[in-house]
Structure formats: structure tokens, C-alpha cells
Chains A and B, each alone.
Chain A
Amino acid sequence: MANKLEERVKAIIVEQLGVNAEQVTPEASFIDDLGADSLDTVELIMAFEEEFGAEIPDDEAEKLTSVGKVIEYLAAKGFDKE
């Protein structure tokens, strides 16, 4: 079920990494599939923090290596209710 959270996450990834929406599948890894480097991934996490008013500590951020993992993480924190 496509929901608002997924759409918002995907929009941020498309803008930050300059990729097409079709590439942003749940399995897509930021580094391996979407061409991000380590600086890109830091900025990506900041963009999610900004969008959702969240704080994502570094030890949790480093596990968020794919689109799907980000969506799961934010849903678990309750951001899919907005």
C-alpha cells in the first residue's frame, strides 16, 4: 500500500541523489544501486531528519543502507501517522 511516508521518502531521495523515481525501489541500496557516496548518505539522513522533524543518531543511521530500511525505520518511529 503506497502511503504518504513512502512518497515523501522517495521524493527526498530523487532530489538529493539526482536519480529517477523508477530507480527508487525498496530494495535499492543508496551506495550500490543509486550512486551515492559516504557524503551523500550523510546529507540524505539530514534531509530525512529535516523533513520529518526526527533525530537519527549515527549508530542507527549507518544501518539505513537502503530505501526500504529507511521507510521501515521511520514507520517504526511513528512518522507514518502524519
Chain B
Amino acid sequence: MRRVVVTGLGVVSPIGCGVAAFWERLTSGVGGISRIDRFDPSAFSSQIAGQIRDFSADALIPSKEQRRMDLFSVYGVSAAKLAVADAGIDWATIDRERCGVAVSSGIGGIQTLSDELTVLQEKGPRRVSPFLVPQMIVNMPAGLIAIEFGLKGPNFATVTACASALHSIGHAFRAINHGDADLMVAGGAEAPITPIGLAGFCSMRALSTRNDDPAHACRPFDKDRDGFVMSEGAGVVILEEYEHAVTRGAVIYAEVAGFGMSCDANHITAPCEDGAGAARAMLAAMHDAGLSRDDVDYINAHGTSTPMNDKCETAAIKGAFGEQAKRVMISSTKSVTGHMLGAAGGIESIVCALAIKHGVIPPTINYTTPDPDCDLDYVPNTARTHTVRACLNNSFGFGGHNGCLAFKRV
């Protein structure tokens, strides 16, 4: 039975790039939400986001190549390079036909599509860029990462909206587990902070409109939550077959023990009220990992800060854990980073690996007023030092896609 471990982490986020900066700010509970200034947001009902500032990819990607990439690809490739460096991989010693990539996005190059649509309308089809298609398609970061490192193994990008990165990591885990690869670069990237992206979510009434107080807008499980806050960036991990990692002396963060999936089959955007679909994904992940309810210490929740998700996810955790739901510690990374959509599952898998490695559970910040429908332990406001023997990472996407990864200490 081939075991799979996490040996490298790469983060590009509104609260820092690189693992050290990210973890410091996450555990300190210093959020990354602010008023949007990439464009004028005043005509929109929600005017806040987790915008990445002061990030230059120039040290990671030549500017000439960046010109041919949508921002989401810049984030994804940057995070992959950071993860590869973090893993200390010497490619000369590794069979790269046995190494692959599974990095995806929820929406891909929406800014590129938006720009070229304007060109089409104003100047006609002959002026549409030959780079439109390669720049916007969701799988391109995976292709670019493979080109960069010469990785000739399995390569794909699973798309499940806000669960995209989680499903990519899950199927990368399966690829190694099954023997198709020995190493996979896996995760997700998203750059949705564009007028059309913001407008779409605003019209759905899905976003927080707490524009006068951005720092406190994202408040998962709190009684006064009013929607999620859009964010951007990338989270990429290096997954490796256990013996392969040990042989090359890799530092191991955690083991990927299991992967569970389900669908609500209920509504295009709203989750099941009773959380039954999400509960099945969690139970499937635990079963795949050979974990019982007693073994799981921490759940990294999807925890978007929407009225519906947080209530339904609480119900799901109770459904999956029964009495143990009261014991398990739960926190939402999104309270600090905002919702990175297709990249969230990647960032949050990184949080799980670090929680296990360091024995520290990051907080759910902005938690001031309990909600009777959300009555579990959400590790409010302050990080908690506690051994994490095993944890679950939940991600759920529009369309009813539920994914859950189980991690455990090695």
C-alpha cells in the first residue's frame, strides 16, 4: 500500500507569500481583507476583498513569460516554485516521468477573457489575442508548471468551483497511491478580483457588504455573518510517495491519509440544510484513511461566513461525528484570508499540514456573538496549542460538490 506524504508547501496569499510569513500572520489572527483598489468598487454592493498587495513574481517568473499569463497563472506557477523550493527537490536525482501536476482553478483567466471580450466588441475578431485561449483555460498553470520543471507524469486540473484545489490534491493523492506517479505538484490558484467577477457574486447576494469595516467582515460561524469575502492567490503542495520521500531525506509535514467525495444533488448553489452531503464526504475521507471519529482532533472547515454554509456545515459535522462533534476543534482559515475560491482547498491543505507539524490550531477570527445554529468549538479569535493527531479539510463548491481530505501525523 503506497503511502503519500506532504513534503513541500507554496503560498501566495493576501496575508503573505511563503510559508513562514503566512503561518505567522494566520496564527496571530491578522486578517487580509481591505477595500478593493485594483479598480473603483464604489458601484458594487460589496467593495472589499482579500487583495494581494506588494507581490512581485519577477524573482520567480521572467517578466517576458508573465506577459503571456493571466494573473491566476502567475499566482499558481509562483506558488508551485515556492513549494518545490520548500521541498528541497534535486531534480537530477528524480525520474521526472514519474512526476506530475494537478493544479486547478475555479474560473481561470477571467480578467483575460474580460479584456479580450472588450477587444472583440470594440475592434472585431481579427484583433482578439492569440493568447486568449491559452491564457484563460483553467489547466494552463498545470501545463506551465510541467514545462518549467520538465514533469512528464500525469497532468490534470479538476474543477469543482470552490472545491477545485481540494479535488486536485485528492486526485493527485490517488495517482500516487495507485502507482501512476511518485510525486505530484498539486493545489489551486485564483485571481477573481475583477469587475465582472465581483459583479457576478454581488448579484447572487453571496458577498458580505460590511464595506465600512472590512477587517471584521469575514466572520464564519458568528451570528452577524453576512456573506463571504472574495480573495485571490494560490496554494500548492508537493505530494510524494512515502518511501521516495524518506529515501531522499525529505522533511515530511504530514501524511495524506484519505480522500472523500460526495454531491449534494440538491441545488446549484445552496447546500443541503441538514448537511447530509458534506457529512458523507467527511465519513468517506475518514473511512478511506482508516480513521475513527475519536482519532480526528481538528477540522479545517469550509467556513465561508455565509449564513447558509456555516449553519449547514455545522449540521454536517454533527452528522458525521455525533457526540464527538463537541470535542473536535474547528476553525475557518477564510476568516483571516478571505475566500480564495478555487485556491482555497490548496491553502487550507497547507494549514492542515502546518497544524499537524507544529501542534498549533489557527483561530477563527472575528468571532464575537455565538449563533445557536453554530454551537461547536470554532477556536475563536486566538490560536490554540494542541497536538493534532489527524485532521480533516473540507471544501464545498457551487453545484453541490463536496470534498474532504484527511491528514495525519507521520
Contacts and interface: CB of A to CB of B under 8 A. Distances in A.
A18 B130 contact: no
B130 A39 contact: yes
A39 B134 contact: yes
Contact of A43 (B63, B64, B126, B130): B130
A17 B64 CA distance: 7
A64 interface: no
B129 A43 contact: yes
B38 interface: no
A17 B62 CA distance: 12
Nearest to A35: B64
A50 B128 CA distance: 12
B112 to A, nearest CB: 13
B127 A50 contact: yes
A28 B399 CA distance: 52
B129 A46 contact: yes
A21 interface: no
Contacts of B64: 17-18
A50 B123 CA distance: 10
Interface residues of B, number: 11
Contact of B63 (A18, A39, A46, A49): A18
A57 B67 CA distance: 25
Contacts of A43: 129-131
B389 to A, nearest CB: 51
Nearest to B123: A50
A44 to B, nearest CB: 10
A12 to B, nearest CB: 13
B131 A39 contact: yes
A55 B63 CA distance: 29
**What does DSSP make chain B's interface, helix, strand, loop or mixed?**
loop
A23 to B, nearest CB: 13
Contacts of A42: 130
Contacts of A46: 126-127, 129-130
Contacts of B129: 43, 46
A9 B15 CA distance: 43
Contacts of A49: 126-127
Contacts of B62: 18
**Residue of B63, B129, B134 with most chain A CB atoms under a 10 A cut-off:** B129
B19 to A, nearest CB: 31
Contacts of A39: 68, 130-131, 134
Interface string A44-55: 001001100001
A4 B63 CA distance: 28
A39 B127 CA distance: 13
A18 B67 contact: yes
Contacts of A17: 64
**Residue of B62, B68, B134 with most chain A CB atoms under a 10 A cut-off:** B68
Interface string A14-25: 000110000000
Contacts of B127: 46, 49-50
Contacts of B126: 46, 49, 55
Nearest to A41: B130
A73 B68 CA distance: 27
A36 to B, nearest CB: 11
**Residue of A18, A42, A55 with most chain B CB atoms under a 10 A cut-off:** A18
Nearest to A58: B126
A69 to B, nearest CB: 20
Contacts of B131: 39, 43
Contacts of A55: 126
B136 to A, nearest CB: 14
A18 B63 CA distance: 8
B368 to A, nearest CB: 50
Interface of A: 17-18, 39, 42-43, 46, 49-50, 55
For the complex of A and B, 7 pairs with smallest distance between CB atoms: A18-B64, A42-B130, A39-B130, A43-B130, A46-B127, A39-B131, A43-B129
21 contacts: A17-B64, A18-B62, A18-B63, A18-B64, A18-B67, A39-B68, A39-B130, A39-B131, A39-B134, A42-B130, A43-B129, A43-B130, A43-B131, A46-B126, A46-B127, A46-B129, A46-B130, A49-B126, A49-B127, A50-B127, A55-B126
Given A39-B131, A49-B126, A55-B126, 18 more contacts: A17-B64, A18-B62, A18-B63, A18-B64, A18-B67, A39-B68, A39-B130, A39-B134, A42-B130, A43-B129, A43-B130, A43-B131, A46-B126, A46-B127, A46-B129, A46-B130, A49-B127, A50-B127
